[in-house]
Amino acid sequence: MPELSPETLLNAALGLLIVMTLAGAVLAVTLRKVFHNLLGFGLSVIGGAGVTLILGSEFVALMQLLIFLGGIAIAMVFAVMMSTPNEQAEEPRSAGAVIPAILLGLGFTALICWAMLDGNFPQSSPYVAEAWSVKNIGLLLLTDYELPFEAISILLLAAIIGSVLIARRTREPEPSEEADRG
Amino acid sequence: MSLSQWGLLTIGAPLVTFVLFLLGVGRRPTLTVALSLTTAALACAGTWAMAITLPEAGYQATTPWAATADFSIHLGIRLTGLSTAMGLVVGTIHLLVQLYSLGYMATDPAQARYFAVLSLFASAMLSVVYAADLIQTFIAWELVGLSSYLLIGFWNFKPSAAQAAKKAFIMTRFGDLGLFLGLALLMLNMPVEAGGARNLLIALILEAVANNDLAGNLFGYDQHTVIGLLLLCGIVGKSAQFPLHSWLPDAMEGPTPVSALLHSATMVAAGVYLFALLQPLFLASSITSTVALGIASFTAVMAAGVAMVNPDMKRVLAWSSISQLSFMLMGLAAGSEVAGFFHLVTHAGFKCLLFLSAGIFIHLAHSGDLTEIGRKVGSRSRAASLGLLVGAASLAGVPAMAGFMSKEVILAQLHQPGYEGFYWLALLGSAMTAYYATRMAAVILRSDSAAVSHHRDTEQTKQEVDHDSNHQGGLADSIMAMTVVGLALVTLGLGWLGPQLAGHLGLDAELVAIDWDSMGVGLAVTALLAGGGLAWYDYGRTGAYREGFLSGLPAIEAMLKDGWHMDRCWRWVSDKIIAGLTLSALFIDRRAIDRSIDGVADGARSGGVLAASLQSGRLQWYLSLTLAVLAVALILLEWK
Amino acid sequence: MSGIYLRFLPELGLLGLALVLFFIAVGPGQEADEREPADSRRKRLIRAAIAGDRVALVGGGVVLILAILAVRQAGPLFFGAYRVALFSQVIKIILAAGLFFNIWLAQEAQSLAPRERPELMLFLSLSTLGMMMLVSADELISFYVALEIAAYSLYILVPLTRGHGDHNEAAFKYFLYGAATSAVALFGMSILFGLAGSSSIPQIATALSANPSTLAVTALLLTLGGVFFKLAVFPFHFWAPDVYQTTSHSVAAFIAGTSKVGAVAALLRLLLMGLSLDQLYWLLGALALLSMSYGNLAALAQRDFKRLLAYSGVAQGGYILLGLAALDSAAYAAASYYAIAYLALMLLCFLVVIELGRTRHGVRADGSTDNSLPIDALGGLYSRSPWLALALMIGLLGLAGVPPTAGFSGKWFLFKAILDQGGFWWVLIAGINNTIAVYYYLVVLKAAYVTPAADGATAIETSLWPRALTLSVGLGVVVLGIAPQIIMPTLQAAVSAMIGS
């Protein structure tokens, strides 16, 4: 049995993680129960974090696990458990709708992949491993990426007010709807 | 007053009426009518003043309007013999028609709107006539089309009128599309003026044509040819030539004075006027001038054929207008500078006279059907009968009448080596003209002598009659009668003004002189006698059958009555091609097409229903469609 | 130091306005109090709403002035992530003017509950802020975040219609559709980043021009897709008719006008990278022709005025896209000019929609307000209010490209610039489309001027505000049509400067 070089092992792990990411995504889309979809989403997120880790960016991998899995996925699980009745009768999907959709999706992906093969990406990105250190990311966020960093807070503010606003509409109805039309 | 002030007054005064109407004066009809008549008189005075005081060398006053680094547009007036003569015709007939409308529209509740739009038309039309820059011409040209739309659809409670208005607007817009493209290409190929900008001043275009500055290739053809053919599209649309002619007969849905002003005397002549204006450009390419001649001579015969059998007085006149416009174009396209334009002037007179007489007839008979008019009114209305006689004689080409004098000049121009085919077609057209003119006069004026034949009341005139039936009053009638008599007298003299017109255009009076001994005159008179005699035999003589000889050939007669099935062709195009295009673009929706009912516009609509139904699906459907289009784009990308 | 603040002045002003509006929206008067009588509570809410309206109007005016003051500013900001140049400043003035007029139109908007009017003003300002940042963003992530700020605000505004029908299908579709296109755009951006090794737009431009590839065009196309969604061109337009029809008139007016100017500016921003990719030329041209043909054919069949405006917007977007496809500075300037004209014309059309909306109180079966406006409801408009009829006439004739409106001069510039690039067949198809389009504009005009009013329809009392708006915008459209040289040279200079740098 030939000795496995670390490189081969790393590549194998990368392949496994990619398969995991894709499988999670497929589960998230195909399964009929919302809860199962969320599990698939979690799997996909873990896979993605692994890929980032292998590419040498520990901080981003950690953040992805923390935010997507620990934050978003869990919040969605709570939302699902609190809102919809879990065992809702699902209508079966019709093959007439599913098959063209699958073909279209695969075809589109294939086209993009084909184009990618043709593209010549620069051999090494200027961001080598140490560039992704926490310190560097912190510096970048306060220099080159200061504007998006600040602007995202406006975006988040808008999203928060918006969700409060829409939630309020469903809870407390308008006071005396007809009278104030003047 | 200086010439430029006169020009501003002439174009601006009627526009003031329209703007005031929009701003609310329209709520007071009497005020609007008074305003409209005053401004019409002012504009008419302006056209006369400009024609009389025109300096020998012409006059031009422009102000730069919109300018960018590489081109500029000017507003202004350009006075030449041609433009002042045309302005005279427009201004005078506009005033006459406004006077006549005082009587004709006296009881119409929407009187104010009528007079206001008529004023808008006058302003726009005069702007077409006097424009110094072709962009200004184009803008005014579109406004003329818009006011025509508003006036055809004036009795909008009639579905047929609304339909006809839309058809007219859209059909002429297709012609205008060619005009627009032609102007844009012309602009791009004009020599650069001082300052680095190009412009479309008419004087400069003519200069460029004369200096052969426009020579060059475009799409593999001579530049003159391509630009000329595109401009010709606009002329064909506006002057209702084949294949964009079928809107004009439908346009008779509008009030009769409108038909007189817009759809015979002035607006439809704008196409011919534009040809006269840019004649050197068209003549610079033999292909363009031959195409123009071909279209015109074909249209002349085709439209005259329909006029021979149509039962409705206004529609006969409309088909006759199409045919006469073709004669004008033939004269111009054959290279004569004055022939076509002279015919434009005389035609404006006698055709307007015929329409105004028709207005009185229809009003009295409560019908537009020729036989019906003959039975109910006949020669009892003196003024109208006089107008009809003078007008028809002129139209038919009785020697010494206006129509004869000007048509003879055209025929003489065509009677040259190289134009034989067109000449014989024109003669055939003349004979047919004589036939339908005689038929119209005979059926109306000689009806008492013959048995009453079956009549067909067309839907259109029934409703116009409804409008007229609540119309009584001596004053209104006498205004109308006086207008007609006055115009008849003018028309009688119009034919002898050829030398003066030629002089005004700066040309030799010899060009319009008629050689009475020539074979040409003999042939023309022969055509008149043949056509007129046949019609007299069919309709006029005591004991006539009062059936056209064509009733012996039912297939041909049916085809003529249907206007050579042209509308059917257009409907087929709109149904099959536009709907088909939509269908193939939107193959996703397999719902059957809602077959259209009438015309180009409705064909396009049935396509629209289909496009809209694409919308009914769900989100996934939208997204997959978006993705599919993107995928197609990617395939195209990678395949290249 | 002060110079740097000046460069960011309009944005800062908008941010300040948004903050003030935010405090009005969550202010002490807003919470429910069980003990308070319903009547007094209602009055209090209306007072707060009117205060918000007026503050927004004044603030919008101030932002407009700030934008005008900042027009001559130029230079980078935020470590090169933001670039202030003549082009971006001119567009910011237009956006500020659009916002100002939209706020003006939305004064005392009847199709929104009084309680939600401060939020309407707040999100209109935020969305405009997003668009302003979009025009200046010189870095992909900033570009994306700005795009999302502009979009999120609208996602929230669309369902805010009066009544308790919270089940708003169109709003939901709009949101999901937007999220999907935004994901596609993000994917495209990631490829661009990979190809260039940088997220700075100028560096991407350099890298792509040095090394053009099919993948670059693919990535660019996907990125542009995110903006096409906002411009609502085929095939990214599916949300538009439903959203226009169901959302409140004030929001529809904003989406139809100002938001599209923002989208055009963003497209220009991406294309002005100075790429010369032949394939892009064909793709954009084809999309443009498809968009105008589809939009016009679909508009022909509409019975609802707002849906008709939506489809006509799809077609108009096609004309603008055609100008962008010419990949030429004159055509870019023409497209910007056309977008400005389009904004003004849309304001006029929606002025009529909003004023008519005040007199209609349809309620749908599920209890929500019916915000649609059938063309028949325009019947007899001339007799009911000559002012509104005039506004409608200028607006529609402008859209139809009839002189002497800015719609005509815009089309003239556009078509001439494309012809100059040899696009004869493109212009021919566009011209045929324009001819078809005239039909449905005329149908609406006919209803307004000619069809008698429905029974029971009374005269519409237009107050001073809409009259002043009609006059100012209508006059603007005509003046711009008669004298395009007022802004055209500036636009040309702005575009050339962008290409040159």
DSSP output for C105-141: HTTT-TTS-GGGHHHHHHHHHHHHHHHHHHHHB-BHH
Domain residue extents for chain A: 9-84, 127-172
Which of B495, B521, B549 is the last residue in one of the domains? B549
* Chain C interface includes B577 (CB < 8 A): no
How far apart are alpha carbons B296 and B422 in whole angstroms?
9
Element holding C82 (H helix, E strand): strand C82-84
Q: Do C113 and A174 lie within an 8 Å CB cutoff?
A: yes
What local confidence, expressed as pLDDT, does residue C364 receive?
Answer: 56
pLDDT of A17: 93
A97, A104, A115 member nearest B628 (Cβ): A104
Q: Which of A133-147, B146-160, B196-210, C258-272 has the highest mean pLDDT?
A: C258-272
CATH number of A9-84: 1.20.120.1200
Which of A13-22, A96-105, B144-153, C452-461 is most confident? A13-22
Q: Mean pLDDT lowest for which of B119-128, C76-85, C299-308? A: C299-308
Could you tell me which chain C residue has the CA closest to the CA of B172? C435
| Co-location of B532 and B568 in the same domain | no
* Closest CA relative to residue B90, chosen from B125, B137, B141, B132: B125
Contact criterion met (CB below 8 Å) for B356 and B487: yes
Domain final position from B549, B576, B595 = B549
The B residues from 162 to 221 touching C (CB cutoff 8 Å) are 162, 166, 169-170, 173-174, 176-177, 180-181, 184-185, 187-188, 219
Among C92, C87, C98, residue whose Cα is nearest residue C473: C98
A111 vs B631: CB contact, 8 Å cut-off?
Answer: yes
- CA-based nearest residue to A15, from A51, A42, A52: A51
Instruction: Tell me the two tokens of residue C258.
Output: 């100002």
Q: What is the mean pLDDT of residues B261-288?
A: 85
CB pairs under 8 A between A and B: 24
> Residue B475: inside a domain, yes or no?
yes
Q: Which of B620, B624, B634 sits opposite A111 (nearest CB)?
A: B634
Contacts of C22 in chain A (CB under 8 A): 161
Q: B195 — alpha (psi -120 to 50), left (phi > 0) or beta?
A: left
pLDDT in the model for residue B598:
29
**Host domain of residue B353:** 304-549
Task: Read off the pLDDT of each residue in A56-83 and give the average, rounded to a whole number.
Answer: 83
**Pairing relationship of beta strands B221-222 and B217-218 according to DSSP bridges:** antiparallel
Does B175 map to a domain? no
Tell the residue number behind the tokens 């201004």, with chain if given.
B91
- Per-residue pLDDT band for C254 (boundaries 50, 70, 90) equals very high
* Interface subset of C 9-48, CB within 8 angstroms of A: 15, 22, 25, 32, 38-39, 41-42, 45-46
Domain presence at residue B207: no
Residues C483/B65, Cβ–Cβ less than 8 Å = yes
- Amino acid code (one letter) for C395: G
To probe the interface with C, which of A118, A144, A160 has the most C CB atoms within 10 Å? A144
Per-residue pLDDT band for A141 (boundaries 50, 70, 90) equals: confident
How far is it, in rounded angstroms, from Cα C163 to Cα C364?
A: 10
pLDDT recorded at residue B466:
47
The one-letter amino acid code at B121 reads: F
Q: Which of B504, B526, B549 is the last residue of a domain?
A: B549
Structural domain that includes position C447: 2-500
Judge if B371 and B515 occupy the same domain. yes
Give the per-residue pLDDT at B67. 64
Q: Residue B449: is its pLDDT beyond 80?
A: no
Question: Predicted ipTM?
Answer: 0.84
At residue B552, the pLDDT reads: 66
Is the predicted pLDDT of residue B404 greater than 60, yes or no?
Answer: yes
Is there a contact between B69 and C492 if contact means CB atoms under 8 Å apart? yes
Q: Which of B10-19, B533-542, B611-620: highest mean pLDDT?
A: B10-19
The residue of chain C nearest to residue B610, with distances taken between CA atoms, is C298
| pLDDT band (50, 70, 90) for residue A173 | low
Task: Note whether B174 contacts C435, CB cutoff 8 Å.
Answer: yes
Write down the pLDDT at residue A44.
93
3-state helix, strand, coil split of chain B in percent (to 5) is: 75, 5, 20
Q: Whole-angstrom Cα distance, residue B61 to residue B4?
A: 6
Q: Is A123 on the interface with C (CB under 8 A)?
A: no
Higher pLDDT: C341 or A29? It is C341
Task: Judge contact between C251 and C160, C-beta under 8 A.
Answer: yes
- Given an 8 Å threshold on Cβ–Cβ distance, is B138 in contact with C415? no
CA–CA separation, C64 vs C55, rounded Å? 14
Find, among C177, C173, C152, C15, the residue nearest to A163 by Cα: C152
Flag the least confident range among A65-74, A90-99, B378-387: A90-99
Shortest Cα–Cα distance, B33 to chain C (Å): 19
Q: Are residues B591 and B533 in the same domain?
A: no
Q: Where are the alpha helices (H) located in B458-598, listed in sequence order? A: 459-469, 474-494, 498-504, 519-535, 554-561, 566-572, 579-585
Contact B638 A114 (CB under 8 A): yes
Q: What pLDDT sits at residue A90?
A: 58
Nearest CA in chain A to B632: A108
Q: Could you tell me which residues are beta bridge partners of residue C83? A: C76
pLDDT at B469: 44
Judged by CB atoms closer than 8 Å, whether chains meet at B166 and C439 is answered as yes
Q: How many domains would you assign to chain B? A: 2
Q: Are B397 and B432 in contact (CB under 8 A)?
A: no
Q: Does residue A128 sit at the C interface (CB-CB below 8 Å)?
A: no
Mutating which of C245, C435, C443, C445 best tests the B interface, going by the most B Cβ atoms within 10 A? Answer: C435
Same domain, yes or no, for B514 and B396? yes
* pLDDT number for residue C366: 52
User: pLDDT band at residue B581, thresholds of 50, 70 and 90?
Assistant: low
Tokens 């100012």 correspond to what residue? C472
pLDDT score of C29: 61
Amino acid at B337: E
Average pLDDT over every residue of B422-426: 84
**Helix, strand, or coil (residue B67):** strand
Mean pLDDT value across residues A124-137? 65
Give yes or no for residue B450 having a pLDDT over 60.
no
Residue B356 sits in the same domain as residue B390: yes
Whole-number pLDDT of residue C314: 92
Query: B582, B98, B241, B497: which is closest to C299 by C-alpha?
Result: B582
pLDDT value at position C430?
Answer: 87
Span B69-75, mean pLDDT?
A: 73
Q: Using pLDDT thresholds of 50, 70 and 90, give the confidence band for residue C24.
A: confident
Give C501's pLDDT tier (boundaries 50, 70, 90). Answer: low
Range among A161-165, B465-469, C86-90 rated most confident: C86-90
**Per-residue model confidence (pLDDT) at position B219:** 72
pLDDT in tens, B189-202: 777 766 667 778 88
Average pLDDT over residues B506-520: 74
Mean pLDDT over C152-181 rounds to 78
- Kindly identify which residue of chain C lies nearest to residue B586, measuring between CA atoms: C294
Measured between beta carbons, which residues in chain C are less than 8 angstroms from residue B586? 294
Chain A's closest residue to B620, CA to CA, is: A101
Residues B541, B578 within the same domain: no
- How high does pLDDT run on average in chain A? 79
Residue B171 pLDDT exceeds 80: no
- B75 pairs with which residues across the strands? B63
Query: Which SS3 state, helix, strand or coil, does residue C304 take?
Result: strand
Q: Chains touching chain C at 3 or more Cβ pairs under 8 angstroms? A: A, B
Mean pLDDT estimate for chain C:
84
Average pLDDT over residues C295-316: 85
Mean local confidence (pLDDT), B146-170: 73
Strands B221-222 and C75-77: unpaired
Distance from CA of B173 to the nearest CA of C (A): 6
B544 and B568 co-located in one domain: no
In chain B, pLDDT over 70 holds for what percent of residues?
Answer: 82
Angle of CA points B217, B219, B224, to nearest 5°: 50
> Could you give the number of structural domains in chain C?
1
**Average pLDDT estimate for B226-240:** 86
B409-431 burial: b if 16+ Cβ within 10 Å, else e: bbbbbbbeeebeebbebbbbbbb
User: What pLDDT does residue C361 have?
Assistant: 61
- b/e B295-332 (16+ beta carbons within 10 angstroms → b): bbbbbbbbbbbbbbbbbbbbbbbbbbbbbbbbbbbbbb
Among the residue ranges B405-419, C305-319, C446-460, the one predicted with the least confidence is: C446-460
The pLDDT confidence band at residue C341, using thresholds 50, 70 and 90, is: very high
Alpha-carbon distance of C401 to C432, in angstroms, equals 12
